[in-house]
Structure 1
């Protein structure tokens, strides 16, 4: 997965893709990230193997941005979207430190909450923004419920993919060059040729 992400980032850069957060496009796991994951597992409980692989091997990535002519449906700074617009869902993966920071925010909220019943269902880790937020539109998140002994957790909140597991979501993302929302492209809308370049020779799993 890490090799695939690096290839996609390089190809987008070469094509002149305008990343929304240039300082957070790609971040390999650091020693601090690895320590954060270990610490989080000690206090939260078991982490799914697929999630740990993302945090400890792949690292953080943020493909949100403006596609211009090569990926015209991908936008972050463009005019407001219409309700029926296509949302390409650029791939966003978290860092280990993000997991720990999210846990700290959740525990602080737990302590302040007058009604704590929702928290007893587990910790809802904000894995990534949802498709709307990735397009700079008010939306929600894609979450993973922790702790979990499952090897492959459900990714909750992926638009139009109810019940999808994390590994399957990542496979779909690679199949569409890091923009899995393109699998919902209407028949009368041409699929950008750039997607073929982005997914060329990727290592599928």
Structure 2
């Protein structure tokens, strides 16, 4: 049987993800584990190239990434993985086993991405749910492991205190503010990965896969949303398409 990795390299991206997700937790066992990890690593390599391309194009337009605060404090749009990224991924894999391979590969190979900011040609990009994936918290000097450990302990304490454990919400590894908070507007809870994992890919909420979420973002040049009720206006013709041009399917 042709390996998942060979099929992925041949362009069968969506079919490979469908088949790997169907394996469930057996993806972590031999003979699938090494093959599935190779797919996850290749996915992350393609994602890294997409991120670098989009950031380069945005900066060529005069885009400045900024925090979602009242001061719109400038900050980097992309932090490559730090020297401690592999240790963080190792700890997450051990603490939340089984930990989704796609999320681990992102931490190890892609880094933190923040496309919230000021675009001189499209001020409403803030209202387009800009791509954000922050799992190292590099802009804050790291500290992700300590933060996740504290959140995990708080979740366990709440679960222990709950009268009905079956009603407890799954633990979520937060990686981005919701679409409203990205625009500094009061909104809902953050986007995150549900843990423990259920297979090779991570779930963002109950039904959306991490890789599918990323593909949606990249197909829109990093800006997949449209908060019309908050004053969203479409970008100038061709801007979004230019950002998305020739980006790689994950």
- Measured against aligned partners, the alpha-carbon deviations of 1:4-28 in whole angstroms (never above 9, x if no partner) come to 1001111111101121144332111
Instruction: Identify which of 48, 66, 69 aligns with 2:100.
Output: 48
Q: Within the alignment, does 1:91 sit opposite 2:131 as a pair?
A: yes
Matches of 1:197 and 1:174, distance apart in 2: 11
Q: Rate the CA distance shift 1:109–1:148 in 2: closer, same or farther, 3 A.
A: same
Q: RMSD in angstroms over aligned alpha carbons?
A: 2.7
Task: Give the match for residue 122 of structure 2.
Answer: 71
Question: Any unmatched runs of 5+ in structure 2?
Answer: 1-46, 68-73, 137-141
Q: 1:104-139 deviations in whole A, cap 9, x for unaligned?
A: 231453476583558965421112111011111122
Indicate the residue corresponding to 1:4 in structure 2: 50
Per-residue CA shift, 1:145-183, capped at 9, x if unaligned? 111141122212xxxxx722111111110110001115x
| The structure with more helix, counted as a fraction of residues | 2
* Aligned equivalent of 2:149: 104
Report the TM-score, using the length of structure 1 for normalisation: 0.78
Higher gyration radius (CA): 2
Partner residue, 2:77: 25
Instruction: Give 2:90's aligned residue.
Output: 38
Matched residue count: 185
Partners of 1:191 and 1:23 lie apart in 2 by 23
Partner of 1:145: 194
Look up the SS of the partner of 1:126 in the other structure.
Answer: strand
Residues 19-28 or 54-63, more deviating: 19-28
- Structure-2-length-normalised TM-score: 0.65
Change (3 A) 1:101 1:92: farther
Counterpart of 1:179 in structure 2 is 223
